[in-house]
Each structure stands twice: as structure tokens, then as C-alpha cells.
Structure 1
């Protein structure tokens, strides 16, 4: 016998089958979306890991070179008692601190680490402290070269170890005053819950500019420092070039001083390039997609922050006849020791 179902029963059975099929379909779609989301997160993490590794490795290499250079400048008495080497040590020390702080902030931003304003403020203000030291030290180094060429008889009386130390103290005091002013401008933040107040986005110097006054001061300070440094270095170069044409001038010394001042001008330009980093990123973020923006940001960071911080060590270390043999000795010392150990192991095994 055929079993006949009523129309109502058929309708309920059809709805039940349809709902079951729909649930299965949406469940599969949900699992598919979750899988796609997980794969996208994995790809994003792998890309961040790759970029952070590619930036950290050269950073560590440059830190090693800078550390060897700093050790070299403290290895002999002549380096500790000569004004230009003392100023070079101050320059390299500031750039080494900048390199460390830049890499720390970059890694924190790459891994989207959420930070509170006090911690972020401490890191960014420490970076700001050393940012102005490089151009100001280049100014003093340029003036020292100008005095050496234009006033050679008075150079020993003007450029002394004591006067050099005083100039370095003034540089650090001026940079510290800049940090104090920036901290005072943070009074616009709500201090009731400051310890738990989190930074919107990633921690950077731009995120600590909380109002129009902070933005205006940051631009004015950067403009004042780099404009003054540029004028001082160019004026020193013009003075040295004019002195080189005189009959009584030491041609070789004047030519070397001009090349040094040109090098200082290039270094100042590299330091100035760091001030256009955030405006450049803001402009790029409006025209490129997120993935492309992250890759471009990493390349810009490498060429603006990492590479210039090592050029001073390499250029001065390889260019200066007094530093180069000592620097090469310390850089190659480990390689020589490794070679000796390998030879001793081979001879003992034979």
C-alpha cells in the first residue's frame, strides 16, 4: 500500500529539508571564510616576520660596526685628546642611539603593539633627544675645520679639549630643552587616566603630537635646527674655499677640509631626510593599498633611518688615516682568531 502524506506534512518535511541544507551551506561558507581569514592572517604574519627580520639583520650589523668604531675612538690617547675625534665620538654615539630607538619603534609598529602614552612618550622623547644632536655636532665639527684652515696658528688655543667638552654639553643641553618643551606640550592630554590611556595606532613621534601647538613646534624646531646647521656648514665651506685660494694657505689641508665639509653637508641632508618620513607615509597611504603601503614603508625606513646611521662610521673610519688601521684591526680580529683556531684544529687532527 502506498502511504499518502497530507499536504501539511509534505510542506513541513520540505521546510525541514530546506533548513537543513541551508544550515549545511552556511556552515561550509563560514568554515571557508574562517579558513580564508586564517590564511590571510598567516600571510600577514609571515610578511611582517620577513620584513622585521630583513630590517633587524642589517641593523645589528651596523650596530656592531658602530660599536667597534666607538671602541676604536676610546682605544688610544690620541683619539681621546683630539677635538675632532671627540666630536666624532659624540656624533656616532647619538646616531647609534637613534638606530636602536628607530628599530625598536619600527618593530613595535610592525607587530601592532598597543602602548600607553607614558611608555610611548618615553621611547619617542628618547629618540627626539638624539635627533638634534647629529646636526648640531656636525656644525661644531665644521667650525673646527674652518678654524683649522683659516686660523691655523690659533687652532690649538681655540679648539681645546675643554672647549670641545663645553660645546658637547651645550649640544646635549639644547636637545634636552627640546624634550622638556615637548613634554610640557603634552599637557593637552587628559591626565586623569593617563597611565591607562592607550595610543591610537602605533607608537611614533607623530602620535605624540596631540595638538596644533605640538605640530607647529615640531615643524619650527626641525626647520630652525636644520636651517641653522645648513647655513653654518655652507658658510664654513665658503670660508675654507676662499682661504684655499690665498698664497699662504696649505693647499692639501684646505682641499681635505673642503671634502670634509661636503661630507658634513651630505650627512646633514641624510639627517634631514628623516623629517620627511611621516609626511611621505601619509601621502602614500592615500594612493596605495595596505599591502603595498607596508612594503614601501619598510623600504623607505631602511633607506632613511638605517643606512644613514652607519655611513658615518664607514666613511670616517675608512677615510681617516689614523682611524682606519685601528678600525680594520678590530673588525678583522675575530676573523683572524677564527682562522688561527681552524688551522690549529686541522694541525692537531693531522
Structure 2
């Protein structure tokens, strides 16, 4: 993922020993944090399939779908990071597959957040109709629409790539490191990226903000459950923060390239890693924190699964 920075700043070539140690330290921190959150996500995924209530409730079904997308995105992002860190070059097809998986899962998350926000709005503002609107079947249909939208997005990118390669020859052995920018290198992809990101995040943002306003208005009613309304408002606000981070992450390349014009190599490397943690890793871990720690139904089961992954653990022996 650093290959597109090399014309401005060759971070890993001919660096002093102190900077080499710094690169290793950042890599260990990023790999360690990513693996830790991957473990939490996987345990939460297991938790959401451990009890019937999680499999039959719309909010938990939507959360499971969001976690699947975030977990796959974390894995693909980590692989791209490792390939760049160790300067491993791959074929265009292998790199393209990894990048397409990353882009595919990246577009699923904001759409799922929109559906989850609408679900919270219906739960608070129309509690008597919530069970009939958000059934297991309707939730499955909503998830299918989300995935279909992401598939269409990927197909458009693939067709654009095919068109580009009718104009130029394809070099299967890439000379640069694998990244999104080296796969979608033509200027036409920049315009498409801006149009898609603007449309996607504007529509999702309006859905979340509209849900927040609706819940806030309903919370003033005397007949409303104040505790549920307050929790829903907090959840929607966290969804908005999560969406903002994902939106900023979609402009990651533009941000780093702009900084590369004014900063030196060492400063750019530090900014890159900080941005990678807060824009690529953190948004994919907020789902586990928002629901895993705040939801009273999930939290005890999740903590038990995190502490006691097998029957013979000390934790379980103490609890008996």
C-alpha cells in the first residue's frame, strides 16, 4: 500500500538504522492491533451464532453481516500492508483480487450501517410495528440488497478495467507494489471514485441523520422509553462517527499524496501509519465495541467467550 508513495518518498530504501527500527516498530504495532481486533471480531461472530436470540433478532443479524464485511476487510487490508512492508511483488491478477475484495467489503459497511440505523429508528419510533417490519425474512432481503449493490459496484470497476486494457497492454508482472492505486491506475477511476463515494456517503449519512432526528424527536414524548431512546441516540451517533471514518478512509490516498508534497520521508511515514490505524483499522473495530460492550444481551456472552474459549480454562473453573 506504500508503492504509490515511492515517487515522492521511498520510505524503505536506504533509510538510517533508527528509521529502520521505527518501521519495524510501527509494523509490529499495526499487525498486533489488527490481529487483536480480528480475534475479537471472530469471537463476536461466534457469539452471534451461539444462541437462538441472536439468530432471530434483526439487529443482531445485521450486526453479524457488518462484522463479516469488516473482518474480511481487515484481513485483506492486513495482507496488502504486509506485501508493501516486505516489498513483495505479485502478479496483477493476485493483486487485483486482493484489492477487489478490500473494495467490495469497504462498500458493504456503510450500506449496512444505514439499514441498522433505520432499524433503530423503527424500534424506538414505531415499537408496535417493529416486529412486523424487521422480520428475519425482511432483514435477509435488506442484506441481499446491500450485497447486490456492492457486487454491482465491483462489476462496474471490472468493466472499466476491461475497457482500459483495450486501450493499453497489461503487464501481468507488476513492477510496483500491490495497492489499490496500482490496480486502478487510470484517471477515469478517480472520477468514478469521487462520484461513487459522494453518492454513497451522502445517502447513508442522510439515513443516519434522519434516523437520529426522528429518534430525538420521539424521545421528547412522555410515553417513550427514555432509556431505550437514549441508547438508540448514542448508537446512531456512533454510527455517524463510524461512517465519517470510513468516508475519510476512502480518501486515504488523496490525503497522503497531498501531505507527501510538503513533508519529508520520515514525517510522511509516521503520518501514513497513524492514518492507517485510525482510518483503516479503527472503523472496522467500532462495531465490536459499540455492540459487544454496550449491548446487555451480547456483553456477558462475549466476555465469557473471550475469557473462556475452552471448557478446561481457568475462567470456567472459577465460575463453577
Q: What TM-score, normalized by structure 2, do the two folds share?
A: 0.87
Identify unmatched segments of 5+ residues in structure 2. 1-12
Bigger Cα Rg: 1
Alignment of 1:215-230 (within 5 A): 215-230=190-205
Give per-residue Cα distances to partners, 1:248-289, cap 9 Å, x unaligned: 333332222212211211111121121221111101211222
Q: Look up the SS of the partner of 2:128 in the other structure.
A: coil
Which of 268, 273, 276 is the matching residue for 1:301? 276
* Distance across 2 between alignment mates of 1:342 and 1:147: 42
Distance verdict in 2 for CA 1:339–1:250, change over 3 Å: closer
Identify unmatched segments of 5+ residues in structure 1. 1-37, 344-350
Structure 1 residues 163-172 or 251-260, which shifts more? Answer: 251-260
Which of 230, 243, 247 is the matching residue for 2:218? 243
Alignment of 1:47-58 (within 5 A): 47-58=22-33
Corresponding residue of 2:267:
292
Tell whether 2:184 aligns with 1:209.
yes
Structure 1 residues 160-169 or 57-66, which shifts more? Answer: 57-66
Corresponding residue of 2:165:
189
Quote the RMSD (CA, aligned, Å): 2.5
Give per-residue Cα distances to partners, 1:47-105, cap 9 Å, x unaligned: 54333222111111111111111000000000000000000011111111111111111
Give per-residue Cα distances to partners, 1:117-166, cap 9 Å, x unaligned: 22221111111111111111111011111111221111111110000000
Corresponding residue of 1:252:
227
CA contact (8 A) 2:308 2:315 kept: no
CA contact (8 A) 1:186 1:210 kept: no
Alignment of 1:327-346 (within 5 A): 327-334=302-309, 337=312, 339=314
**Hey, which of these two has a bigger chunk of helix by percent?**
1
CA contact (8 A) 2:54 2:61 kept: yes
* Distance across 1 between alignment mates of 2:260 and 2:175: 17
